[in-house]
Chains A and B, each alone.
Chain A
Amino acid sequence: MPVEALFSISEPGQSQVKQDCKGRAVGIDLGTTNSLVAVVQAGQPLCLRDGGSALLPSVVHYASDGSVVVGQRARELALAAPQDTIASVKRFMGRGPGDAEATRELTSYRFAPSDPGDPIVRFAVAGGARAVTPMEVSADILRVLKARAEAELGGELDGVVITVPAYFDDGQRQATRDAGRLAGLEVMRLLNEPTAAALAYGLDKQAEGTFAVFDLGGGTFDISILKLEGGVFEVKSTGGDSALGGDDFDRAVAGHILRAMGLPSDAGGDAGVARAVLDAARVAKEALTTETTTAFSVGLPNGKSRTGQLSRAELDALVRPVLDRCGPPVRRAIRDAGLAADQLSGVILVGGATRMPIVRSFVAELFGKQPLADIDPDEVVALGAAVQADLLASGGRSDVVLMDVVPLSLGLEMMGGVAEKLIHRNTTVPCGAVQTFTTYADNQTGFDLHVVQGERELVADCRSLARFKLGGIPPAPAGMARLKVTFTVDADGILSVSAREEYTGKEASIRVKPSYGLTDDEVERMIRDSFDHADDDMGARLLTVERVEAERILGATRVALLASADLLVEGEREAIEAGIVGLESAKAGTNHLAIRGAIQSLDEVSKEFARRRMNAALEQNVRGQSLDTVEKKVTSQ
């Protein structure tokens, strides 16, 4: 693709008519509150505007007559038809009917009844006649941006980069990708929002050094630490809370207004009142960015309205508890980057909520320095996405490269429900990991592989991504088979898992396509928990691991004594049986070190016997090769 094509596009703002022009790659910020589209023209990223405004409110109205309205007009319709108008759909992406978002109070939505086990939440809209998924609602927003870009650039789009919160899990990412596909877009990449912001800053301001990006949007909070140097954008660490944002400030203020009006905190379940109060809260919050006190007015659906006063001090007191939740993820990200707060060159503000004075002073206090907001915090993410789209579509700049990380650890389920991490969070992508596992039981002919995502030690606390099987392994004593599992995460953050049994060469692989909403556990809760319970977890994990191991060894040894009594030499049976008794008693206790010790003792006394047994088994299964040659084969891999 000719690089020049991209720069031959007409002057900014002027419509492009040449149909053969390539290089129409755009960046889209699909935000909780507003969405934007941007493109690189003449080497500079700029947001595309419609009637002077770059911001498209992320609100979709589904009328009973089947028409769909998106943007400012939909926001205006929300008051009259709150249930048919979806705002903040991003909070529902990749979420199931049982998830927290779908069940929280003070909501104006009506959910369509779902079948048990349905992984996707659906909104009942158009007077209840239609059920739409969050992906469909997002696709309706994307279609408007696509039309805006095509009108401006004069032809079909080449491809898009859509931004997502760094902290989105695989299900949420997949849902975003699906929304793009539904809108007829070629999604070249999902880009993390803080990374996009840094890209825009780095290129525009020629910033160099290590920066924190503090991104507080309508519905999500992200923190990333990046090193910018010589055109290389290296994400050092990332963290956040995918259910914390300006919306939560609105809710806190709305609760206050409802109390002042003498109404219950869920607005008595009246969707119209809920919408009206949330709107009044948002308007008051925004006004208090510049004013120190403001009057609010709640326009009720019955045509009446209620008024009141709110001061900035009151607002600050209401939002502070929500804001405080940003502290721990920030601390963790700085630690994961291997830095101290005073080693940062600066803090970049992203997201509409960072306009609030209390947010700015909170950030200044947290980092010990005044934050930067040179680029419009509403536009910076879209601008960065346009830069990345340009890089991917044209390969145009060889002097810039972006190195992103895995936001959440990836691993496999082990016996006993323990998660073994193969790739740790904040590892630079693309990346890979290889680990070898063995069979647990004698004559086990297959492996069940369960791929999980999360920071906790136990599988039950992580998110399930995929399951697959590797079968057809010839029967052999436990511990004989060698299963080599390879994880690869590509530059897109998509995980592939392959498994190969080393003796037989049997293979199985899967490209992990998670089904969304499998668990209602929020990722950030998982991480938070993993820190809160680090001690319990580790102790419980070690004990579980050793007990499982003990169980395996005991079972295998007993079977071996029965099956291969002919291979025992004099005195060996007595020694082994004593070892079994010792391990049984250690296993009954809670000291994992004692179990480990007893396992080693039993191992020691049965080692020679096990070796003779393996050789015998191998003679049957691997056509007479001796154990030595087979082992060589394994270790040379």
Chain B
Amino acid sequence: MRARVVRTLAALASALVLLGASNAQAWTIWANHEGIKSGENKFGPFVSLSATLVEPLGSGIICAGIRGVGLSCPNEARRVVFEAGSVVRSEPYAHNHSTFTSGFNGYYQ
């Protein structure tokens, strides 16, 4: 009985790890600990993509966007998702909406 519970838990843990890995693999990082000046745009590669997200690394407000589709900004330093909902050929980009230089990670899929 105990062995069966252990096997079940092990299988569940493996499934969770794989699930996490598959989600992680879905996002491609295009900006890794990048700095961005106040008011600046930083563009990623020209690719096929359907969504972008940015994670701020400091207290700056960093916006996430896709060139030609738009841009979304939070009202403070928070993660923000920009979902196009269809595949477009364009560039992911970030914009620093703060009054100072700050850092971020940028992803697309």
Do A and B bind? no
A residues adjacent to B (C-beta < 8 A)? none
